[in-house]
């Protein structure tokens, strides 16, 4: 059953399960990138607060530090977007990075639904409708 339908990548249960090791690596990478982005954002805020004089003007050192931080932030953000796009292109749809919630499009009879996997599960054992979400998932 695999293939594209209306711009979505349909997967069999076997294909989706085979992707899980790569999905787990991607989740780890995305979390690491997110953490680096948040750290840089915090450093930007600190530099903006501590690098200004009483009139609110940034010192040349603070301006240089902010330029460097912003370049780093942009590079990390681009890498995050690239990783997310790679994950999506594989057929895995990230629903929640913190909990590691991933959906895969599949067919269940004539209907297109999601295979639903959450990090920590050894394999995909649930599905839900496109509108249903994690709370409405059902055992396969």
**pLDDT, tens digit (0-9, with 9 covering 90-100), for 51-77:** 888 787 888 899 999 999 999 999 999
What pLDDT sits at residue 138? 94
pLDDT at 49: 87
Within its chain, how far is the Cα of 95 from the centroid? 8
Read off the pLDDT band of 24 (50, 70, 90): very high
- Hey, where are the domains in the chain? 3-139
Q: Higher pLDDT residue, 111 or 6?
A: 111
In this predicted structure, what is the pLDDT of residue 6?
59
Q: What is the pLDDT of residue 117?
A: 98
Per-residue confidence band for 5, with pLDDT thresholds at 50, 70 and 90: low
CA terminus-to-terminus distance, the chain: 17
Res. 121 pLDDT band, cuts 50 70 90: very high
DSSP string, 26-58: HHHHHHHHHHHHHHHHHHHHHHHHHSB-TTSPB
Instruction: State both tokens at 78.
Output: 């681009």
């Amino acid at each position: 059953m695999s293939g594209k339908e209306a711009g979505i990548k349909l997967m069999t249960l076997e294909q989706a399960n085979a992707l899980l090791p790569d999905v787990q690596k991607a989740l780890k990478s995305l979390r690491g990138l997110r953490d680096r982005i948040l750290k840089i954002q915090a450093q930007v805020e600190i530099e903006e607060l501590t690098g200004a004089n009483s009139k609110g003007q940034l010192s040349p050192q603070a301006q240089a530090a902010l330029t460097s931080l912003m370049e780093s932030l942009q590079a990390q953000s681009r890498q995050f977007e690239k990783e997310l796009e790679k994950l999506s292109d594989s057929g895995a749809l990230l629903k929640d990075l913190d909990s590691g919630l991933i959906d895969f499009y599949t067919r269940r009879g004539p209907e297109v639904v999601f295979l639903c996997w959450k990090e920590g599960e050894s394999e995909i054992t649930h599905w839900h409708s496109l509108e249903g979400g994690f709370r409405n998932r059902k055992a396969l």
